[in-house]
Amino acid sequence: MQSTRLQKLLEFNANEPNDPFLKYALATEYIAINDFNSALIYFEDLILNHRDYVGTYYHLGKLYEKLGRKDEAIKTYQQGMQVARAARDNHAFSELQSVYNSAMGLDYEDD
């Protein structure tokens, strides 16, 4: 059974099918209910059609990691860092760099 929240988002999306925030909200809602395939559809649509929507890259990368698609996660983090840098979004860049380093095994601490 779909949640009321998901139903409302789907209704909003039907009226505004090109709104990147609605696509992002749907993707994250699908993750919340463990429907990863539906989440991928919305995240990958964002990457194709709304490349500058910075929030996509972190969550899509994490989803790829959860699905065992590490190479795609790393590529997504790299793309996200480029988009965040171009948008001058230092916070997003830092978060993406952190998960990228972790995925690459570079998240060690100095003694």
Tell me, what's the pLDDT at 2? 56
Cα separation of 16 and 10, whole Å?
A: 10
Per-residue pLDDT of the chain in tens (111 residues, 90 and over written 9): 457 999 999 999 999 999 999 999 999 999 999 999 999 999 999 999 999 999 999 999 999 999 999 999 999 999 999 999 999 999 999 999 999 999 999 876 554
Give me the domain span that covers residue 27.
4-103
Does residue 110 belong to any structural domain of this protein? Answer: no
Tell me which DSSP letter residue 108 carries.
-
Does residue 91 belong to any structural domain of this protein? Answer: yes
Does residue 44 belong to any structural domain of this protein? Answer: yes
Tell me which DSSP letter residue 106 carries.
-
Burial 98-110 (b: 16+ CB within 10 A, else e): ebbeebeeeeeee
Does residue 109 belong to any structural domain of this protein? Answer: no
Q: How many domains does the chain have?
A: 1
Closest CA to 62 of 45, 40, 81: 40
Domain of 94, CATH number, reads 1.25.40.10
Does residue 85 belong to any structural domain of this protein? Answer: yes
Does residue 25 belong to any structural domain of this protein? Answer: yes
Does residue 108 belong to any structural domain of this protein? Answer: no
Tell me, what's the pLDDT at 108? 64
**What predicted TM-score, i.e. pTM, was given to this entire model?**
0.89
Inter-residue long-range contacts of 29-38, CB under 8 Å, 24+ positions, other chains counted: 29/3, 29/5, 30/6, 31/59, 31/63, 33/2, 33/3, 33/6, 36/63, 36/66, 36/67
Tell me, what's the pLDDT at 109? 58
